[in-house]
Amino acid sequence: MRILVVEDHPDILANIMDYLALHGHQVDCAQDGVTGLHLAVTQAFDIIVLDVMLPGMDGYQFCKRLRDDARMDTPIIMLTARDALPDRLQGLRAGADDYLLKPFALAELAARIETIVRRSQRRSHTLLSVADLEYDLDTLHVSRAGVALRLNPICLKLLQVLMQRSPAIVRRQALEELVWGDHVPESDSLRTHMHQLRTIVDKPFDTPLIHTLRGIGYQLSEHHV
């Protein structure tokens, strides 16, 4: 796997990189938060190993900007000498997936990396995400900007198709067939359910995600065609 290590202590950085490389991983590094964030945003990594105390931008700021500004969900393991509960909670709330206290065993770091990446890869197949809208296909939990949304079964089906196809336009006929199969209602049920879906997913929020293309179909995207 490809791993980014952001750590300003030269000896710790060298030890981590050497150990991970010996175990077959491709490792890139940065020694300050600004450079690390640039690499994280412009390149693809399976996981980021991130020190909290960094020059330029600390680990908390790094996490928050990666999650909130760049909208990226690359897994993050935070490294820190701070063992107080408020410090650990701050890291998790900023967007870290795990927290490892210094000093730590390199074998434990490697084991945690493998566990988190494996969990992340599994969730990538079951968690749909468009902008700040998320739909967990395993639990049927839908949320937007962290707010839980309650949808009926038909709206859930419509949302799943629109999110899976996003940002493509899904034609009306395709939506009707996917939801009702060969038994499409004669009335305009699709329009009614799309109105319900839009009322729940879009109306309480500033940015609309569901767009109607008259005579064609619907699109779920941050950017309307």
What is the CATH number for 69? 3.40.50.2300
Total residue length of the chain: 225
Q: 77 with 102, same domain?
A: yes
Q: Which CATH number does the domain housing residue 170 bear?
A: 1.10.10.10
The answer to whether 61 and 16 are in contact (CB under 8 A) is no
Which of 91, 125, 159 is where one domain is finished?
A: 125
- Structural domain boundaries enclosing 64: 2-125
Say whether both 193 and 99 belong to one domain: no
CA distance 218 to 186: 19
Same domain, 164 and 61: no
From 125, 160, 191, give the residue that closes a domain.
125
- The rounded mean pLDDT for the chain is 90
Residue 211 placed within a domain: yes
d(CA 58, CA 69): 16
Sheet order of strands, 127-130 included:
127-130, 133-136, 141-144, 147-149
Other C-beta atoms lying within 10 Å of the C-beta of residue 194: 21
Residue type at position 88: R
The yes-or-no verdict on residue 83 having pLDDT over 80 is no
Lowest mean pLDDT among 141-145, 167-171, 202-206: 167-171
Q: Based on the structure, what is the number of domains in the chain?
A: 2
> Within a domain: residue 225?
no
pLDDT above 70 as % of the chain: 97
Spell out the residues 6+ positions from residue 180 whose beta carbon is closer than 8 angstroms to its own: 189
3-state secondary structure 95-124: CCCEEEECCCCHHHHHHHHHHHHHHHHHHH
Over the range 137-171, which residues count as b (16 or more CB within 10 Å of their CB) and which as e?
eeeeebebeeeebebeebbbbbbbbbbebbeebbe
Domain boundary among the residues 90, 125, 160 is at: 125
On the question of pLDDT at 186 being above 80, the answer is no
Query: Cα(first)–Cα(last) distance of the chain, in Å?
Result: 36
**Distance (Å, whole) CA 90 – CA 74:** 18
* 102 and 21 within one domain: yes
| Structural contact between residues 21 and 66, judged by C-beta atoms closer than 8 angstroms | no
Are residues 176 and 102 part of one domain?
A: no
What digits encode the pLDDT tens for the residues 88-115? 788 788 888 998 999 999 999 999 999 9
